[in-house]
Structure 1
């Protein structure tokens, strides 16, 4: 019997017992602090970029606000922490930030080997190249021998290296942490191209002095699903981030916007809308949040479609069509898990 008790204690220590796993401290720490520490890019138009008053604007910045609104009922209770690609994972691992929402591709090795957890997809993208128009290049195979600006520690560096090697082509990398430095290098002629995700290329070009002088090649060379990242220390916190993203997608699916959310909460007989907006408190209870958690996020930043159109869509300087980021009902990949 003593041997059985010893084995049972060992299994419990390893987490194989019948009891629930102990939650980590991030959820409680954020709640007690009263402010979300959100890691974002140091500055890419359409994603996270301070305006002339120092206010962070963009898709990623607004997702940070959505989480703050879900947690505290106030989208302004967030501190933005600008991070380069090299800094981002260390900042999360060390506890400097609570969540990373910074154009980060969700990959298997990142999800399994860094002590982190990839949460959910908020944007589907793919690797591409931008070249000078006067180079006369219309396809990537015409880039043989070029100097390509890349950010170290990114999937883009790996994708570029693999593709050129597979096609027996040569290139010279110019590695710089800040994408803005790569943009300046391309405009100054220090490199012939930039390799990164297509949405970032469009965002960078929108800030150029002469954007018409640069061409984004049509090919895509990888799958780059972006999404928030958290530490593997707190399932409750993981749930808050995952379901906040899902709530914004679900809102678009149901026709709920920042403008009509309050009225629909009062008048809609649709049980899905009632659950989402907190007229039925079951979803908030599941997350240990106020029943109004989702409507607070939606009122603060809008549904997913509103976010995309405001920061990246055809009427912005970036001018992107939604493509794969359309709802599944419109031929895209955006799809909320059932919220019930």
Structure 2
């Protein structure tokens, strides 16, 4: 009787272990679709058009990962998440990854049991006010009402900044950028605060963007990047190195226009390894040898994606700044592919 119970217990434990051993990569392949958590709607970063087709800087990363894993950048289900729901959506398994203007912080990386797979946009918190307010500096916001999204790093940054400068403010809590935009335009707050890139994207969608000013002060460091669940190292490697492949592609001159030719082989060993001509980097993470070719072809290299979605020639109008390549004075730097 004891022997039967013992082996029964072992069998149950084995079944449980088998169920629990399914990886995110296996889940995504079996499902045939990548579930990607994105913003509820932030022009330039992640927003659907009238037909429900999503596009933007963060959306491009979702497409690149889907292309690397499934061979098709269209195999993505975009799951809109707010500042408060995004991390629960990830940790609960509702989404496979987040690509949603999320700041990499100590507590999020440890206490929330997430892993950030890198930085795809170096940002900082700023303020936007109406031009006719006459305000030209954040130091002039003493006593102002400020619209701020809950569940974000901006709440603590705002409190710290006003305390450090001996100023007071009245917080007007909003759940999403859309609500923040609505409240700000309705005059419910004197200023709107969020990441500077988000302010630029929000202003670009206004009917009168010239009547709104983004103040010069940047009051925080906001390294934004994709996040995955803690504990699945293989999936974390896939998302991380897909991002790095896009960054490295720009550095080495691999573009959507020349990638097919370069994938035939070049004199540059690093390019050959990235594109799967030499070595087995893809199989090391459970992907095909040409995984990076598929990822880069999904929307181009990092620079192409930046220029097409949020760059200076778009309504968002963001300069590369810190997000330029390390060879151009920026912080974009991919580790070696070897």
Q: Work out the CA distance in 2 between the residues paired with 1:82 and 1:54.
A: 12
Q: Equivalent residues in 2 for 1:62-101 (5 A)?
A: 62-101=60-99
24-33 vs 185-194, which moves further = 24-33
Q: Work out the CA distance in 1 between the residues paired with 2:30 and 2:230.
A: 20
- Aligned residue for 1:85, secondary structure, equals coil
Pick from 49, 54, 64 the counterpart of residue 56 of structure 1: 54
Pick from 190, 193, 204 the counterpart of residue 192 of structure 1: 190
Q: How many residues align?
A: 319
Q: Work out the CA distance in 2 between the residues paired with 1:188 and 1:131.
A: 13
1:211 corresponds in structure 2 to: 209
2:326 corresponds in structure 1 to: 328
Pick from 24, 31, 34 the counterpart of residue 32 of structure 2: 34
**How far apart are residue 165 of structure 1 and its match?**
1.3
Does the 8 A contact of 1:45 with 1:58 survive in 2?
Answer: yes
1:111 corresponds in structure 2 to: 109
Does the 8 A contact of 2:45 with 2:56 survive in 1?
Answer: yes
Q: Equivalent residues in 2 for 1:144-293 (5 A)?
A: 144-293=142-291
Does the 8 A contact of 1:26 with 1:233 survive in 2?
Answer: no
Calculate the aligned-residue CA RMSD, in Å: 1.1
| 5+ long unaligned stretches in structure 1 | 1-21
Taking structure 2 as the reference length, what is the TM-score of the superposition?
0.93
2:9 corresponds in structure 1 to: none
| 5+ long unaligned stretches in structure 2 | 1-19
1:315 corresponds in structure 2 to: 313
Moved over 4 A (4+): none
Distance 1:119 1:24, change over 3 A: farther
Q: Work out the CA distance in 2 between the residues paired with 1:123 and 1:30.
A: 26
Taking structure 1 as the reference length, what is the TM-score of the superposition?
0.92
Does the 8 A contact of 1:73 with 1:296 survive in 2?
Answer: yes
**How far apart are residue 23 of structure 1 and its match?**
6.8
Q: Work out the CA distance in 2 between the residues paired with 1:233 and 1:74.
A: 26
1:296 corresponds in structure 2 to: 294
**How far apart are residue 267 of structure 1 and its match?**
4.2
1:305 corresponds in structure 2 to: 303
Q: Work out the CA distance in 2 between the residues paired with 1:186 and 1:157.
A: 17
Does the 8 A contact of 2:130 with 2:211 survive in 1?
Answer: yes
317-326 vs 48-57, which moves further = 48-57
1:13 corresponds in structure 2 to: none
Q: Work out the CA distance in 2 between the residues paired with 1:283 and 1:250.
A: 15
177-186 vs 143-152, which moves further = 177-186
